[in-house]
Amino acid sequence: MPVICDADSDAAWQLFASASCDACCRLRLMLFLINRLVLSLLLILVVIYAGLLWLAWRADRIIFQPPPSSYLDKAPFAPYQLFHITSGANGPHTRVGIASITTLYFPNPHAQFTLLMSHGNAEDIGQNCDLYEEYRRRGFAVFAYDYRGYGTSTGIPTEEGTYADAYAAWDYLVNTLRAPPSRIILHGTSVGGGPAVELAERLSIADQDQRPAALILVAPFRSAFTVLTKFPLIPWDKFPNARRIMNVRMPVLVVQGEADEVIPFVHGQKVFYNAQPTGDNDASLTRTSGKQHLWIPHAGHNDIFRVAPTLYFDKVQSFANEIPLK
C-alpha cells in the first residue's frame, strides 16, 4: 500500500484551498456585479418614474400650448355672433375659479342639430371659422368656445378648467340660446375630446330630454399620459377618455387618421372599442347607445379635413341623420 508523504499532503491541501479561494472570490465578484446591476436598474427606474412624476406635476403646462390669439373681440364676425360667458361660477367645477371665455355662435335656422365644438390644442376658435362655416353649410348650427387662456378668454388652461369651460358653454347654449339639449351634438377634437367626453359622461345621467343627442370625437387619445408612456403608469393621468366613454349613454362617432403622427392610431381604436356597446364593430344607434367609426387612410393628426373632407363631412352628416330623435 503506497504511503503519501506529508509534503505531498500539504501540497494537495494548499492546491485545494487555493482552488476553493478562487471559486469563492469569483462567486463574491459575481454577486457584487449582480447587486450593482440590480441597483443600477432600480436607479434608472427611479429616475424614469421621477421624470414621469415631474411630467405629471407640470402636465397642464405641457399639454396646453395656446397660440397667440388669432382674433380680436372687435373683429367683424358677422353674420356670426360673439359672446363672452362666465365659466366656473356655477355647475360642478366651481373650485377652478372664474374665467371669462369667448364663444362664437354660427346660427342656422334650418339646422336639426347644433354642434358644441371643443377644439384642439394649438388653435383657437378664430382659426377654425372656415371649418365651422363648412359645418353650417352642411346643415348644422355651431357653437364654439375657447378654453381659458386661449384666444381672448381669460385665465390659465388646465384639465379641470376645460371641464368648467365646456359645462359653461353647454349651459349658455341650452339656457340662454335656448337650444334643446336633445338636439345638441358634443364634438371634441384631439385634446378637446377630454372635455367633450367628460361632459358627455356627466350628462348621461340626466333625464332623456336633457341629454345631448350624440358625441363626435376626432383624433381622441385614451388618456393624455399614455400618448407618451404607452401604458397607464401614473395613477393621476389626465383626460381618461377610454375609461369615461364606457359610461357615456348616447350615440358615438369616432374619427381618426390611420397615419396620425401625434396620437397613435390605437388610441382611437381603444376609445371606439370602449364606447357602448363594447366591441370593434359599429352598432345601431339608439338614444342611449350605438356607435360608428371612420378610419381615414393616409390622414395624420392635423390634416383630416384636408386629406378627406368629403369623406369626413359625409360621414358626420350620415351619422347625424341616423340619430334617433325620440
Q: Which residues contact 96 (CB under 8 A, 6 or more apart)?
A: 88, 158, 160, 161, 163, 164
Alpha helices in 159-278 (DSSP H): 159-175, 193-203, 226-229, 241-244, 265-274
Under the banding of pLDDT at 50, 70 and 90, the label for residue 13 is: low
- Please tell me the pTM assigned to this model: 0.82
Under the banding of pLDDT at 50, 70 and 90, the label for residue 7 is: low
Convert the pLDDT of each residue in 24-42 to its tens digit. Answer: 777 777 777 787 778 777 7
Under the banding of pLDDT at 50, 70 and 90, the label for residue 253 is: very high
Weakest-pLDDT range from 36-50, 230-244, 261-275, 281-295: 36-50
**Has residue 266 got a pLDDT over 80?**
yes
CA distance linking residue 212 with residue 303, whole number of Å: 28
Supply the pLDDT for residue 8.
Answer: 58
Q: Determine which helix (DSSP H) or strand (DSSP E) holds 43, and give its type and residue range.
A: helix 6-57
Q: Can you tell me whether residue 293 is helix, strand or coil?
A: strand
Under the banding of pLDDT at 50, 70 and 90, the label for residue 237 is: confident
Q: Report the catalytic residues.
A: 190, 260, 301
The cell numbers describing 208, all together, are 332623456
Under the banding of pLDDT at 50, 70 and 90, the label for residue 222 is: very high
* C-alpha triplet 274, 230, 269: angle, nearest 5°: 30
Convert the pLDDT of each residue in 104-138 to its tens digit. Answer: 999 999 999 999 999 999 899 999 999 999 999 99
Supply the pLDDT for residue 20.
Answer: 63
CA distance linking residue 186 with residue 172, whole number of Å: 14
Contact 69, 98 (CB under 8 A): no
Beta-strand pair 99-106/141-145: antiparallel
CA distance linking residue 273 with residue 296, whole number of Å: 17
Q: Which residues contact 141 (CB under 8 A, 6 or more apart)?
A: 105, 106, 107, 108, 111, 113, 114, 115, 179
Supply the pLDDT for residue 235.
Answer: 65
Supply the pLDDT for residue 258.
Answer: 95
Average pLDDT, the chain: 88
Convert the pLDDT of each residue in 286-311 to its tens digit. Answer: 999 999 999 999 999 989 988 999 99
Convert the pLDDT of each residue in 125-174 to its tens digit. Answer: 999 999 999 999 999 999 999 999 999 999 999 999 999 999 999 999 99
**Has residue 23 got a pLDDT over 90?**
no
CA distance linking residue 23 with residue 90, whole number of Å: 75
- Residues forming a β-bridge with 117: 144, 187
Convert the pLDDT of each residue in 68-97 to its tens digit. Answer: 999 988 756 667 899 999 999 998 999 999
Supply the pLDDT for residue 40.
Answer: 75
